[in-house]
Copies of this chain bind each other. A is one copy, B any other.
């Protein structure tokens, strides 16, 4: 006897499959990017991936977009619930970037897989360009608001935002690869020191 199955709306199924893919990637890294494994994790058969995504790379790209949007939302929701002063918002950004929800080896593990794909897949690269731009623009706004409130000059807010983003990503990477390297609180301290450099005019 054949087992029955539930029929679901395409958007729901696509989300379920993407979430299953993320769990597989967390568990096995690059080796987790496998149509068979993902389908089993989602409790469906492999054919469903072909049906909804065509090729598996499209499924992974969808998971990337979902996760990318989710992470920026998470940190910005926290920023928006902080005090409205620009300094408080910028510091909330730092503190939340180092919160356990994001400063997490499993999360980085997923991103490392994405990075590898971005370098070799035009489809993934296209997604990344959009996500990165959105991220930097958001950071730039936080920085210019802060600079205006503190009355400090910034020659290129864009470069400051790129640098600050790079610092946060680099700390995330370094800590996840080797959590013994420094404490999360030390990461927050480094981020705030960077802000202090900005205030002192390092980017003027």
Contact = CB atoms under 8 A, between A and B. Distances in A.
15 contacts: A29-B119, A105-B119, A125-B177, A129-B180, A132-B177, A159-B186, A159-B189, A162-B171, A162-B182, A163-B193, A166-B174, A170-B170, A193-B202, A197-B200, A200-B201
A74 B36 CA distance: 43
A117 B109 CA distance: 9
Top 5 closest pairs, chain A to chain B, by CB: A197-B197, A166-B170, A170-B170, A197-B202, A200-B200
Interface of A: 28-30, 105, 108-109, 112-113, 115-120, 125, 128-129, 132, 136, 159-160, 162-163, 165-171, 173-174, 176-178, 180-182, 186, 189-190, 193-194, 196-198, 200-203
A68 to B, nearest CB: 12
Given A105-B119, A169-B174, A181 B202 contact: no
A167 B167 contact: yes
Contacts of A119: 29, 105, 108-109, 112, 176-177
